[in-house]
Structure 1
Amino acid sequence: MDTTAFREKLQARALDEGFSAMGICAPDATPHTAQRLSEYVELGRHGQMGWMAERMSWRGSAAALWPQARSVIMLAEVYTPENNPLDVLEQRDRAAVSVYAQGRDYHDLVKKRLKRLGRWMVEQTGAEIKVFVDTAPVMEKPLAQAAGLGWQGKHTNLLSRDLGNWFFLGSIFTTLDLPKDAPETSHCGNCTACLDICPTNAFPAPYQLDARRCISYLTIEHKGPIAPDLRPLLGNRIYGCDDCLAVCPWNKFAVAASEIGYARRVGAPHLAELAALDDAAFRTLFSGSPVKRIGRDRFTRNVLYAIGNSGDPALIDAAKPHLNDPDGTVADAAAWAISRLS
């Protein structure tokens, strides 16, 4: 078959499916990933994310994950917010939820799109495929840079001259040997906006992240109490953090999201209302949302830290019922919040 012609058809089909951009690299196009991952884990910067240390041979090499693959098709899907996500940080009695979690769970939306595109590929070529979106030990950002979609900025997230940095990544591994794209290089220049704005100084150096100080990690992945010296720095962020993404100058080229599923469902709810949620109400409110996966206890812990940071003594009444919470971390967060407001 004419692989060049098929690649053009594939790209057109991908855009028709709703993806924003496509690039292709070889499975072995990121030879330095394994060493960098090993160094990251050895420094302990992955925190409690033990899964990063598991299957490191696969995570460090897409070629090892599926030796039969000849091409890795990387796809980007934008979720650009309509409003500045930094504005809610000034509303201390309200909760700040990361933009990507304000709508439906992107795992479901991107995965379905990947499967549709993959089925079309199989019908057209008979090739074998595997699709991934945060569901396997795949280092998506290095592969996306190798495929020319963008580059990992100083905040370690992927950004693009055409899309900004508000986009998800998905991948299709295939036995087809398709024409490859040239890798992208960094265009951050002397800019340090993303490093300067980080509330917790989570970047030891440009292009390096210590997850143990990252608010996204602390509010989503970290189990148990958060260190007392970091709690005041969380502000009213109860799920994730968008600061380093929001200030990137390349966002002036960001395109609007076309997937209606990414539209705001959660918004910026009152902290008092969130503190009153029991497990059933929590699950109902965040049904179909990424927020649901952290569970009621970790969520309530985050809400109570935000209440403690609100500066509003009227919120003491919202924290008091949790002083005797069955979860010790929640009870500790309630006591901390009340002591801050008193």
Structure 2
Amino acid sequence: MAQLIDYQQLATLIKQWGVELGFQKVGITDLDLSRHEASLQAWLDKQYHGEMDYMERHGMLRARPAELHPGSVRAICVRMDYLPRNAKFAHVLKQRELAYVSRYALGRDYHKLMRKRLKSLGDRIKNYCAEHAHTNADFRPFVDSAPILERPLAEKAGLGWTGKHSLLMDDKDGSWFFLGELLINLPLPVDQPMQERCGSCTACITICPTQAIVEPYVVDARRCISYLTIEHAGVIAEEFREAMGNRIYGCDDCQLICPWNRYATPTSEQDFVPRHELHAPKLLELWAWSEAQFLSKTEGSPIRRIGFEKWQRNLAIALGNAPPSQHIINALEEQLTQCSDMVREHIDWALEKQRGGVLKQSRQEQRLIRAIEKGLPRDA
């Protein structure tokens, strides 16, 4: 006769196995996300998803995870920290001749890494069930790989609360972590949600360079620098270009300002160690890359998926925002006949800004020289 599974004991083992596999936290929840359907529909109706057609295409399926893997009754939610040591946030953002890459993208792409480990976790559960109760554990791992509301699931599983910037927060480790899910057919005991602890703080809303957080917990992706530099395929509206500064891939401002991120622990995951070429690079060095160099140097990185054209577009804007320099003007002009029409539009904008800045700088220098000369002794 088959032995019954002690699901409480199994849940404890699952969390232990998760930590052994490199996840910093593991939680379990049911799959009922019905209370999120109305807000999801309202967000879509306002077109806040921008060009991300897949958000609208899958509709309410995102709030119905059980339909993604029939037979599933629980989600095992995991968290993997990615904050690199010596992240150089302020150092890079303040020096406009350098390029800022969102810190989650400095190392290896997390998708395959986390999915592989979630698969290993599922296999351990499956083997345990087969060995102890001759029961089949049917599971499916997800890491941004299907239409699923991962943050609401993780919130229900006790991995954190949703901050006003719409990211998941933890009172011990802030928000510098990736999320993944394992849908499974076992009626495991569920964890309790964490209490929301943002209080009256609105720092993330205030700091957003493009005012993309249109109200607490609601982000208009069409204004978000992460969306503009990664998801948006065409011309970036001029109203956002100066605010983008030197951010060429993603934006971390709403996380950087958050008081809870003071307590974040740097990751020990070697795959997330920053690549030298991307940690604090000079804009002109990246601008000099050929398409072949771009593909080579971003191999295994999430940056590669935006393609060379969007890479050049983002860099052109950052170069326009950089301190005035004849070197930058020369570098931009050299690419005018070698790039696409879309990129050329951004180069023209950058050149206009750079030329105006160089002219202004030259006039200031001349005034300074005249002022110095007036103050010099006659025989100097």
TM-score normalised by length of structure 1? 0.97
Please list, as runs of the form range in 1=range in 2, the aligned pairs for 1:91-110 lying within 5 A after superposition. Answer: 91-110=95-114
**Per-residue displacement from partner, 1:231-287 (whole Å, max 9, x unpaired)?**
111000000000111121112322221211101112121111111112111001111
Separation in structure 2 between the aligned mates of residue 96 and residue 253 of structure 1, nearest angstrom:
22
Please list, as runs of the form range in 1=range in 2, the aligned pairs for 1:45-194 lying within 5 A after superposition. Answer: 45-82=48-85, 83-125=87-129, 126-194=136-204
Q: Which residue of 2 aligns with 1:17?
A: 21
Percent identity over paired residues: 42
TM-score normalised by length of structure 2? 0.88
**2:354 matched to 1:341?**
yes
Residue 40 of structure 1 aligns with an amino acid whose one-letter code is: W
Q: Which residue of 1 aligns with 2:317?
A: 305
Gaps of 5+ in 1: none
Residue 246 of structure 2 aligns with an amino acid whose one-letter code is: N
Report the CA distance between 1:134 and its aligned residue.
Answer: 0.2
Separation in structure 1 between the aligned mates of residue 269 and residue 170 of structure 2, nearest angstrom:
19
Separation in structure 1 between the aligned mates of residue 9 and residue 208 of structure 2, nearest angstrom:
45
Task: Give 3-state SS (helix, strand or coil) of 1:55's partner.
Answer: helix
**Per-residue displacement from partner, 1:159-188 (whole Å, max 9, x unpaired)?**
111221100000000001100011223210
Separation in structure 2 between the aligned mates of residue 89 and residue 196 of structure 1, nearest angstrom:
18
Separation in structure 1 between the aligned mates of residue 250 and residue 316 of structure 2, nearest angstrom:
15
Report the CA distance between 1:42 and its aligned residue.
Answer: 0.6
**2:209 matched to 1:196?**
no
**2:267 matched to 1:257?**
yes
More helix by share: 2
**2:330 matched to 1:317?**
yes
CA contact (8 A) 1:34 1:56 kept: no
Separation in structure 2 between the aligned mates of residue 239 and residue 259 of structure 1, nearest angstrom:
22
Gaps of 5+ in 2: 130-135, 356-380
**Per-residue displacement from partner, 1:179-208 (whole Å, max 9, x unpaired)?**
001122321001111111111111111111
CA contact (8 A) 1:76 1:169 kept: yes
Q: RMSD over aligned Cα, in angstroms?
A: 1.1
Report the CA distance between 1:323 and its aligned residue.
Answer: 1.5
**2:289 matched to 1:277?**
yes
Radius of gyration: which is bigger? 2
Query: How many equivalent residue pairs?
Result: 341
Separation in structure 2 between the aligned mates of residue 315 and residue 102 of structure 1, nearest angstrom:
25
Separation in structure 1 between the aligned mates of residue 81 and residue 282 of structure 2, nearest angstrom:
28
Q: Which residue of 1 aligns with 2:31?
A: 27
**Per-residue displacement from partner, 1:92-114 (whole Å, max 9, x unpaired)?**
11100000000000112111111
